[in-house]
Structure 1
Amino acid sequence: MKSLRHAVALLVPGLLAFGAAIAALLVFGTARRVVSVGKRVPDVVIRSVDTGAQTIELQRTLDTELPGRYGLFTTGTYGYVKLGAVLSADATTVRRKLLTQIEPGAKVDRDALFSGWYYSTPSELHLPSENVLIGSPAGPCPAWFFPGSSSTWVIQVHGRGTMRAECLRAVPVLHAAGLPNLVVSYRNDGEAPRSRAGAYALGAAEWRDVDAAISYALRHGSENVILMGWSMGGAIALQTAVNSANRDRILGLILESPVVDWRTVLRFQARETGLRAPLPALAMSALEVPLMARLSGADEAISFDRLDMVARAEELSAPILILHSDDDGFVPSDASHALQLARPDLVTMPHFTVARHTKIWNYDQNAWTAAIEEWLKEQGLSASA
């Protein structure tokens, strides 16, 4: 019995240490996923392509069953194809019209990524545009510039895991209002320079690249700007609005499916992927400590308090239009509604549902466009107002 007690006394600390090590690995692994810049991962299976009828049959998901126009990243002969209306559906598949002509004999692999981008290059808009470089603290960041008649420019900021092309859907309505568009990149997005760690800062550092874009606009004829942010680009735009030395030149913000508070988003996404409390909270706490943040792959510590724009709502001063579907499915609209409640004097938030994440334009282009047009006129920001 004495030898058994002795063995247990030796074993327990080892087990505790082993458990602590496993817990630490889980925390750091979760924190690393929060800031890591991953590649686009296929999320849908192509069942078949009918090149005669120009239709495509996809695995049915909450995204692929949506009405409207979308894009599909593929591999094989085509890297990206455009999708039109849903023609038929059953319990497991959806058949849609192809808007990109697929030739007989083309190779289209099964794995694909469903997307709301739709436009992939500026030339598809048939509007004048040029490539420019913006000197930011991260280095030269490529941007697209679409000229307009107004001295107020729109600076568009894409979301996490995407590139500038995500923003092209908004250019026509803004251009029609006379507003020049500067569609920017930022550090670690695959087009702009890479930081030392090559990780996202969730807006805590990227806003400096957008601030550089504001300075670029002011040097090239702009008197004021509107910031438009998509998803994480919304978080970046909000950080720019409260941190920039140019914030008095920001006349308004348009936020599409925005991240307003990262804690709300990360807790939601953790639940969706089956991560149990307190792991998400521990991962966020790790990212707030400099040494632990670096061990998690971040360049520097990230303050989630500073990224909570509901708590910081009183610091905002420019009018805000929020376009957010209540069925987002990736970035819940809770924090957007909370910001509207906190600042009803600034925030306009039309009701959208069904459309999922950053796909309101795709699902209901007319309502989405009308919401932007009306808000611009109400704020006196449209050249046609």
Structure 2
Amino acid sequence: MKSLRHAVAIAVPAAIAAGAAVAFAVFSTARRVVMPSPRRNDVQIRAVDTGAQTIELARTPDTELPGRYGLFTTGTYGYVKLGAVLSVDATSVRRKLLTQIEPGARIDRDAAFSGWYYVTPSELHLPWESVLIGSPAGPCPAWFFPASASETAPTWVIQVHGRGTTRSECLRAVPVFHGMGLSTLVVSYRNDGEAPRSRGGAYALGASEWRDVDAAVGYALRHGAQRIVLMGWSMGGAIALQTAVSSGHRSSIAGVVLDSPVVDWRTVLRFQAREAGLREPLPALAMGALENSITARLSGAENAIPFDRLDMVARASELQAPMLILHSDDDGFVPADASHALAEARPDLVTMPTFGVARHTKLWNYDQDAWTSAITEWMRANGLARDTA
């Protein structure tokens, strides 16, 4: 009996400790899903040659991609633009600098590779103005690029950026739509660092953010738009899809363009968990915690995350507007599986050309001509572009 009590005395605290460790892991994982986080440095700068205007980076699947990209840095420059790959070896990539780096400049070693390319609207050399969209979250700043200085286009494009980024992500697409004679509104939404912060400051993965985009749709319709094309990048795709099926203005939504979109969060989170070395049942438990109103708040979410409602493959029958999905098959962050599943579920609505190599939200950077042609041809085929010739 004494030995049994001794065993129980050892086992019970151990079980409690193990349970506490699992709970901590579950809630920590869930919290990472919903809480905004600062930009993560993901590459190291090995050398900068100011004479040749080249930069050497540690080799990664992103840094060796052909095309034009950006690099968030610290020191003398906050952001530099990168051009062609000049050489690659086992550990390093040397690229052409498109931002002039002066001799004596300090560039810190840690950096973040980016597909943004443009950071400010003035870099596009197009007419634009800052506007505020009155949304349920409060006044959300937006950039408005009119079709021309003399008239208002009947079709407006509303662009929605992704998770952990800002409006600058969308600037690459503005000249494409401007060239088709369309006005573009590039919007922000709650908790993105530019729009108002909600009470808890957490993402709802599209379940709440769509209301801010819907407010932008209303703004466009009040200012002369007759038809709306939504464009969403990454999580912005999830937000655009929620807007398309939930908006009170859905009859005015004439098309949806998605770049590397989140179509089903469960697919994305399971993939990212595997990439991070997390094994089941931890990802399932974390998603379960986010679905429950009590444990969701313990995870940092303001409300339960409705994963069923965010699964647009399951809700494919509710979609009405034609859709173009641009998604690299080797995305590496948001797998293209759910995009393909949506295209298969709604072949009457969804056009999905094949892209590869480009990885996540970098299709424009990798092959600007093919990306631009896909959008232009689809817009014209659906009667959404104006003839500006």
TM range (shorter): over 0.9
Q: Distance in 2 between matches of 1:91 and 1:113?
A: 20
The answer to whether the aligner puts 1:203 opposite 2:199 as a matched pair is: no
3-state secondary structure, aligned to 1:294? helix
Question: In the TM superposition, what is the alpha-carbon distance from 1:6 to its structure 2 partner?
Answer: 1.2
Question: In the TM superposition, what is the alpha-carbon distance from 1:263 to its structure 2 partner?
Answer: 0.3
Q: Distance in 2 between matches of 1:13 and 1:89?
A: 56
The answer to whether the aligner puts 1:309 opposite 2:322 as a matched pair is: no
Q: 1:232 aligns with which of 231, 235, 242?
A: 235
The answer to whether the aligner puts 1:74 opposite 2:73 as a matched pair is: yes
Structure 2 match to 1:346 = 349
Q: Aligned AA for 1:152?
A: T
Residue ranges of structure 2 left out of the alignment (5+ in a row)? none
Q: After superposition, where does 1:167-316 map in structure 2 within 5 Å?
A: 167-316=170-319
Question: In the TM superposition, what is the alpha-carbon distance from 1:292 to its structure 2 partner?
Answer: 0.6
Q: After superposition, where does 1:41-120 map in structure 2 within 5 Å?
A: 41-120=40-119
Q: Distance in 2 between matches of 1:228 and 1:19?
A: 45
Deviates most, 147-156 or 315-324: 147-156
Question: In the TM superposition, what is the alpha-carbon distance from 1:19 to its structure 2 partner?
Answer: 1.5
Structure 2 match to 1:369 = 372
Question: In the TM superposition, what is the alpha-carbon distance from 1:12 to its structure 2 partner?
Answer: 2.4
Q: Deviations over 1:233-252 (max 9, x none)?
A: 00000000111111111000
Structure 2 match to 1:6 = 5
3-state secondary structure, aligned to 2:211? helix
Q: Distance in 1 between matches of 2:12 and 2:117?
A: 57
Q: 2:335 aligns with which of 325, 332, 346?
A: 332
Q: Aligned AA for 2:167?
A: R
Q: Deviations over 1:231-288 (max 9, x none)?
A: 0000000000111111111000000000000000000000000001011111111111
Q: Distance in 2 between matches of 1:13 and 1:193?
A: 47
Q: Aligned AA for 1:323?
A: L
Q: Distance in 1 between matches of 2:217 and 2:179?
A: 21
3-state secondary structure, aligned to 1:106? coil
Q: Aligned AA for 2:42?
A: D
Q: Distance in 2 between matches of 1:16 and 1:147?
A: 63
Q: Distance in 2 between matches of 1:355 and 1:138?
A: 35
Question: In the TM superposition, what is the alpha-carbon distance from 1:3 to its structure 2 partner?
Answer: 1.3
Question: In the TM superposition, what is the alpha-carbon distance from 1:18 to its structure 2 partner?
Answer: 1.8
Q: Distance in 1 between matches of 2:11 and 2:358?
A: 53
Question: In the TM superposition, what is the alpha-carbon distance from 1:299 to its structure 2 partner?
Answer: 1.0
Structure 2 match to 1:162 = 165
Q: Distance in 1 between matches of 2:67 and 2:13?
A: 58
Q: Distance in 2 between matches of 1:137 and 1:91?
A: 51
Question: In the TM superposition, what is the alpha-carbon distance from 1:11 to its structure 2 partner?
Answer: 2.8
3-state secondary structure, aligned to 2:361? coil
3-state secondary structure, aligned to 2:308? coil
Q: Aligned AA for 2:169?
A: E
Question: In the TM superposition, what is the alpha-carbon distance from 1:224 to its structure 2 partner?
Answer: 1.5
Structure 2 match to 1:30 = 29
Deviates most, 250-259 or 218-227: 218-227
Question: In the TM superposition, what is the alpha-carbon distance from 1:161 to its structure 2 partner?
Answer: 0.6
Q: TM-score, normalised by structure 1?
A: 0.99
Q: Distance in 2 between matches of 1:6 and 1:62?
A: 56
Q: Distance in 1 between matches of 2:18 and 2:114?
A: 41
Q: Distance in 1 between matches of 2:203 and 2:84?
A: 35
Q: Distance in 1 between matches of 2:250 and 2:312?
A: 16
Question: In the TM superposition, what is the alpha-carbon distance from 1:20 to its structure 2 partner?
Answer: 1.4
Question: In the TM superposition, what is the alpha-carbon distance from 1:300 to its structure 2 partner?
Answer: 0.7
Q: Distance in 1 between matches of 2:226 and 2:189?
A: 22
Q: Aligned AA for 2:233?
A: W
Structure 1 match to 2:140 = 141
Q: Aligned AA for 1:270?
A: A
Q: Distance in 2 between matches of 1:341 and 1:32?
A: 33
Alignment RMSD (CA, Å): 0.8
Is the 2:153–2:224 contact (alpha carbons within 8 Å) kept by the matching residues of 1?
A: no
Q: TM-score, normalised by structure 2?
A: 0.98
3-state secondary structure, aligned to 1:306? helix
Q: Distance in 2 between matches of 1:109 and 1:19?
A: 41
Q: Distance in 1 between matches of 2:279 and 2:8?
A: 31
Q: Distance in 1 between matches of 2:284 and 2:306?
A: 13
Paired residues, what number? 384
Q: Aligned AA for 1:273?
A: A
Q: Aligned AA for 2:137?
A: A
Question: In the TM superposition, what is the alpha-carbon distance from 1:21 to its structure 2 partner?
Answer: 1.3
Question: In the TM superposition, what is the alpha-carbon distance from 1:49 to its structure 2 partner?
Answer: 0.3
3-state secondary structure, aligned to 2:237? helix
